[in-house]
A and B are shown apart, each in its own frame.
Chain A
Amino acid sequence: EAGVTQFPSHSVIEKGQTVTLRCDPISGHDNLYWYRRVMGKEIKFLLHFVKESKQDESGMPNNRFLAERTGGTYSTLKVQPAELEDSGVYFCASSHTSGGAGEQFFGPGTRLTVL
């Protein structure tokens, strides 16, 4: 069974540009999560999809971040315009369990560097 995949693995952009990250969850997992780790800090929750619906987006830092999961399969996270403080590793995770925090399986992450 394929795990969670993310693309790209690395992205280097300049301040003000746009970047779109993609996550493909484990097949059959309705729950998809985005997390972010900035240097020196803990991994922090961004948002949670159940199928195509946003269940919880309380962790999204501001309206420069837009996440979508059309069709309830893969998800994209767009940052527009990117700022220096957006640099970090963006992880996607998926789980099968509904209700509460079940066992979440993480992708390899996208390392975003904003110059």
Chain B
Amino acid sequence: QKEVEQNSGPLSVPEGAIASLNCTYSDRGSQSFFWYRQYSGKSPELIMFIYSNGDKEDGRFTAQLNKASQYVSLLIRDSQPSDSATYLCAVGGGSQGNLIFGKGTKLSVKP
């Protein structure tokens, strides 16, 4: 059974700090990796995707992928209270189009 693991949190960081969110996955053949942000009662919102080993930066967000270690992370620089949400790690299910989600990490950014 393909699995994606995340710490449920809550992860609490002060405003302006770097928030680091981590995710591991079980299927070594996975090719695509996604981070979604979900505010309470809202739909998951795609914020980052990464397909290759290494780092990918977009504004205050950096996604990091290490396929050898089966590890994906999301760094949020200069965290803001508006970043407080649940962050979902999702992995592409091989040749199929479905996503396999972790349970999410709840992030709280304190002013």
A residues neighboring B (CB under 8 Å): 4, 31, 33, 35, 41-45, 48, 50, 55-56, 58-59, 91, 95, 99-109
B101–A100 touching, CB < 8 Å: no
B96 at the binding interface (Cβ < 8 Å): yes
B residues neighboring A (CB under 8 Å): 4, 31-32, 34, 36, 42-46, 49, 88, 90-104
B43–A107 touching, CB < 8 Å: yes
CA distance A45 to B101 in the complex (A): 9
Beyond A43-B88, A45-B93, is A104–B43 a contact (Cβ under 8 Å)? Answer: no
A95–B97 touching, CB < 8 Å: yes
A106–B97 touching, CB < 8 Å: no
**CB of A63 to closest CB in B, whole Å:** 20
A108–B43 touching, CB < 8 Å: yes
Taking CB atoms, residues of chain A closer than 8 Å to B42 are 108
Interface centre among A35, A101, A102, A107 (most CB of B within 10 A): A101
